[in-house]
Structure 1
């Protein structure tokens, strides 16, 4: 019997780059010989799931969209049962190594239940302001990996990147963080490197 697929949560505010991170990770996952699936969560739409299905990066049958009907964080934290059922269904129907579970855009307090994911990533972006780390949202504090996206935009939106780096170091002294932009696959390489070291090492193909 195959081991259960590793489940990785990806959360963060609207527009921070969660779906783009999924899209950038998929080629790296395939290149490593791993078999992925994707679950997206949103309020009353399947927009993110449709986008991933149409990307050509993954078999559309391996993508499930969940309409939460309420704030998406409720379906990844308070009652993750609908996501657990979706993940279990994917594993019953397909041989998988990992499942990326993306939460719809929500506030900085959104976190993932340990019942749902084995490891989780929180994405913020410089374009939203350089004060985000100082707000000390639960996502930025507790995520296994914090991704600070759109660093290329910092000088264009008046964000102080050095201040962001210092603030992130202060609020996450013992947890890893990545500063990047996801405009190309290269922007996700450090994220994938973290995942391989943290949770995927034994699943990777020789």
Structure 2
């Protein structure tokens, strides 16, 4: 699922694990793992919640959240009742979130495996990073594909600035498009800059204030699931 591009040459220390096996120890196929990263406040947790609502009647899904010292994101998902409580696991990273999704992935791997043991078989596990910056990337030993979420309120120059999250994520999500007129962000410019940075890699524009706002991301996840189970 990962597209290597030249990330490993530019940032060899960021990917220190080989791709995980596609089967569990009992021989059954494990769940597809998709990581969601992005800056603080970009809408990662809201995107996870919207994806759970969109997909929970179609596939067996679970979520792992990452926060530094709290269960804030997991508690939000629980309050929203997007999934049964036993399908949501919280990881407290104790340090910058990227350490637990890229450098030492053991806590997240344990959470993923515990979910598969407890409520499996699962089709999909979403692993949400705590809020980080434009350098946040997931280890290939943890997830099969990465979604990177930015938002228009952060400035329409973010796609142009690039960074590993923007340039190499399997899907770039530009969120909160409904705010563009109020914060002076040019969506067309963002689309053009993202295209220059990412080439043929997909970009989705979302506004989670509408019922169908997460539709483009949900469709992308469905396509990844279809490829995973083919």
Q: TM range, normalised to the smaller chain?
A: over 0.9
Matched, 1:80 2:67: no
1:183 aligned residue: 209
The residue number in structure 2 matching 1:59 is 84
Partner of 1:3: 29
Is 1:20 aligned to 2:24, yes or no? no
* Structure 1 runs not aligned, ≥5 long: none
Deviations 1:151-195 (A, max 9, x none): 111111011111111101110112001011112341111111111
Indicate if the aligned counterparts of 2:74 and 2:89 stay in contact, CA closer than 8 A: yes
- 1:46 is matched with 71
Q: Structure 1: how far apart are the matches of 2:201 and 2:147? A: 11
- Normalising by structure 1, we get a TM-score of 0.94
Counterpart in the other structure of 1:195: 221
- Long gaps (5+) in structure 2: 1-26
Aligned length: 202
Computed over aligned residues only, the root mean square deviation of the Cα atoms, in angstroms, reads: 1.3
Runs of 4+, deviation exceeding 3 Å: none
State the distance in 1 between where 2:111 and 2:44 align: 19
CA distance in 2, matches of 1:148, 1:191: 11
Whole-Å Cα distance in 2 between the matches of residues 15 and 68 of structure 1?
18
**What TM-score, normalized by structure 2, do the two folds share?**
0.85
Please tell me whether residue 119 in structure 1 is matched to residue 145 in structure 2: yes
Q: Does 1:97 align with 2:143?
A: no
Residue 145 in structure 1 maps to residue 171 in structure 2: yes
